[in-house]
Structures are given as C-alpha cells and as structure tokens.
Structure 1
Amino acid sequence: MADAAPSGSRLRADARRNSEQIRAAAIGAFQGRGLTVPLEEVAKAAGVSTATIFNRFGGRIGLIEAVIQQVVARELFAFIDHARTIDDIGERIAYYLTAIRDLQYRQPAFNDVLLQTYPYSEQLMEICRAGSRANEEFVAVARASGVLRPEFTPGDLQALVVDNALALKHGERPSRDDYDRRTMYLLDGIRPSPSRA
C-alpha cells in the first residue's frame, strides 16, 4: 500500500522547522558578516532552498525583520537602558559611547543598521530613530553637566558613529587593542579642555 500523503499537521511542523532553521542560520550569518550576506549562504546553512526563504519570510527585508531583535536591537536597547542608570554623567557618556563602539566592532549588522543599508525595513529605521533619540538625550545631559565640550552636538556624535561604521564596513579592520585605544582618544577629544590638561 502506498504511503499516505503528509498530513496538514506534518506539513505545518515541517514549515515551522524550516522557519526555525532559517532564523537560526540568519542570526549566525548576520551577526558574523552583516545584513548583506547572500541569502544563498543563509539558505545553505539552514539546509533549505532560497525559494523557501522567500516563501517563509518574503525575502531579505522580511528575514531581517524576523531576527533583528536578536541580532542587534536587544543588546543596543539593553546598554541604552543601563546607561540611564549610571548616576555620574561623565561615566554615563563614556559607557554609552564605548558600548556603541564595542557593538560596532563585534556586530557588523549594527553598522548596516547605522548606515540604513535597508531603508525599507521599518524595524531597522525605528532602531535608528531610537538610537538618535538616545544620542540627543545623553549629549544634552552631558553638555548641561559640563562633561562634554559645549559645542559638541548629537549630530557630531551621530557623524562619529557613522564614520566609524563606514570605516569598519569598507576599510581595514584594526586590532582590538588599536580600536580600544582610539576609543579613548575619541572620549578625550569630546571632553572639555580643562579635563584633558
């Protein structure tokens, strides 16, 4: 007797398993290499066809939106929230900027978010807007407290972060020691002159 056709529940279980495999493969690929990694490589890692990614997620944008919380947003929002708990304003801005640069170094996908590589992704754009709001908040408080140069603006911070994203995405990757040393130079450069003397 011929095998019966797969039941609806079996098909649903297979589809669910495929989706989970695709999500796991996408998280690994995006965290390691950024959001522009070829979908063919994600499909291969998941053990499915590229067509399956389109069937399950509608393409790259849908796949990004399915995993961006785990890839970038969760960690970004966690250190923004932690920064708000630091009472010393100088320590707060130093922690915040260091955390941003650390995430940029470790997570290529974060640089793709900062560079708005996929502007049609509403979730990516909301992450950018949330980051901009945090920049404005922290810079305003730090300037009012005298721990930043008075002329330093949120736009300056945004430019520094975006410039760093471009350098990491398209330039030669520095060693971690060199990178952290340059972070300290950056922090020294945005503080008022008397504190550097």
Structure 2
Amino acid sequence: MSGGAPSTPRLRADARRNADQIRRAAIDAFQGRGLTVPLEEVAQAAGVSKATIFNRFGGRIGLIDAVIEEVVAVELRDIIDRTRAIDDPWDRVAHYVTAIRDLQHRQPAANDAMLQVYPDAQSLVEICRIGGEINDELIASGRASGAVRAEFTADDLQALVHDNALALKHGTRPRREDYDRRTAYLLDGLRGR
C-alpha cells in the first residue's frame, strides 16, 4: 500500500510539468508563427504527445485560451493603456495606429486574433471586443476634435486593421521600412484637414 502513495504526487507533478512545457512551447510557436501552428509541432517542442495537449487543455481552443494572454493580450492592453494616457486626440490616434500595425507586423498571432481565426476561442472574441471599444473611442474623439477626417469611422479603422491582418497572414511580409512608410501614408490619409 505504501508503494502506491508516492506515485500519486509524482503523477500530479508530471502532469503539472507537462502542462508547463506545453504552455511554453505553445507561446513560443504562436508568437513566432501564429495560432495555426500544427499541434503536433507544439507537442514535439514540449516533449509530449499531441494527445497530452488534448488531455491537459481539451485541444487547440483550450490551449489558445490558456496562453493568449502571454502571446498577445498583454501587449494589446499595454498599447490601449498607453494610447489612453496621451492627451492630444491626433497623437492618440497616431500612436494607436502605429502601435497596432507594429504589433501586427511583429506578431502573427495578433493577426489571427484580430481575424478571429478560431471564433470558438472566447479569449479571441474578447480581444476583438476590446479592440472595437478603443476604435470607437479613438475615432469619436478624433472626429470631435477635427484631428481625424469627418467621414472616417470606427468601422473604417476596423476594416483597415482587418485588411492589414489578412495581407500579413496570406501575403508576402513587407520589409519593415516599406511597412513603416505605408503606415505614415495611412496616417496622413486619416488626418483631419
């Protein structure tokens, strides 16, 4: 009987270690290549079987929900907090658009989140909800102050972010200097006259 007791804590420790390894491997894979990385690759990097991912997290959706905070949500919230701390309406819009486009260029998972590639992942739906709120807030303030073109809407900003996500996900990734130049053109087109 005493031989069975030590195995239970060891299994729990092993399960905890496996879950931690899966989380680390998923964060690395998702940050580098997006949320659609094959689970077999995540499992291999974690040193476990794909079945272990399903046992610990219930599959891809559960794994995304478990790691999306570290993968992209913390950075998105930081962008929003920094944006809201800026007093000038145009500077707020310019900072937000630049920071979001930077995040999209650096972080493939951000584009998957914005495109709601996995609509059953509640964490991704929440990220989009938060993004929609700041879009509404920024454009309303920008239009009221005259900093943003009167005809430009929050839906227009959402469409630009969405279109950029599609282009980055399915197209050739542009050189950084070209991308930043295009961000400047975009901002120039948004600015009130």
Q: Establish whether residue 173 from structure 1 lines up as the match of residue 173 from structure 2.
A: yes
The aligned runs of 1:29-48 (5 Å cut-off) are 29-48=29-48
Partner in structure 2 of residue 81 of structure 1? 81
Long gaps (5+) in structure 2: none
Long gaps (5+) in structure 1: none
Partner in structure 2 of residue 7 of structure 1? 7
Residue identity matched to 2:161: V
Residue identity matched to 1:110: A
1:73-121 deviation per Cα after TM superposition (whole angstroms, max 9, x unaligned): 0000111011111011111110001010000001100100111100011
What is the alpha-carbon distance in structure 1 between the residues aligned to residue 192 and residue 127 of structure 2? 30
Residue identity matched to 1:85: A
What is the alpha-carbon distance in structure 1 between the residues aligned to residue 192 and residue 79 of structure 2? 25
CA drift of 1:29 comes to 0.2
Partner in structure 1 of residue 139 of structure 2? 139
Q: Establish whether residue 118 from structure 1 lines up as the match of residue 118 from structure 2.
A: yes
Partner in structure 1 of residue 184 of structure 2? 184
Residue identity matched to 1:101: R
Judge which range, 82-91 or 160-169, deviates more: 82-91
What is the alpha-carbon distance in structure 1 between the residues aligned to residue 184 and residue 59 of structure 2? 40
Q: TM-score, normalised by structure 1?
A: 0.95
Root-mean-square deviation (CA, aligned residues, Å) is 0.9
- The SS at the match of 1:147 is coil
What is the alpha-carbon distance in structure 2 between the residues aligned to residue 141 and residue 192 of structure 1? 12
Aligned residues: 190
1:124-170 deviation per Cα after TM superposition (whole angstroms, max 9, x unaligned): 10110110011000110011011100000000000000000000000
Residue identity matched to 1:9: P
Aligned-pair identity in percent equals: 69
Partner in structure 2 of residue 54 of structure 1? 54
Runs of 4+ in structure 1 displaced over 3 angstroms? none
Partner in structure 2 of residue 101 of structure 1? 101
Partner in structure 1 of residue 156 of structure 2? 156
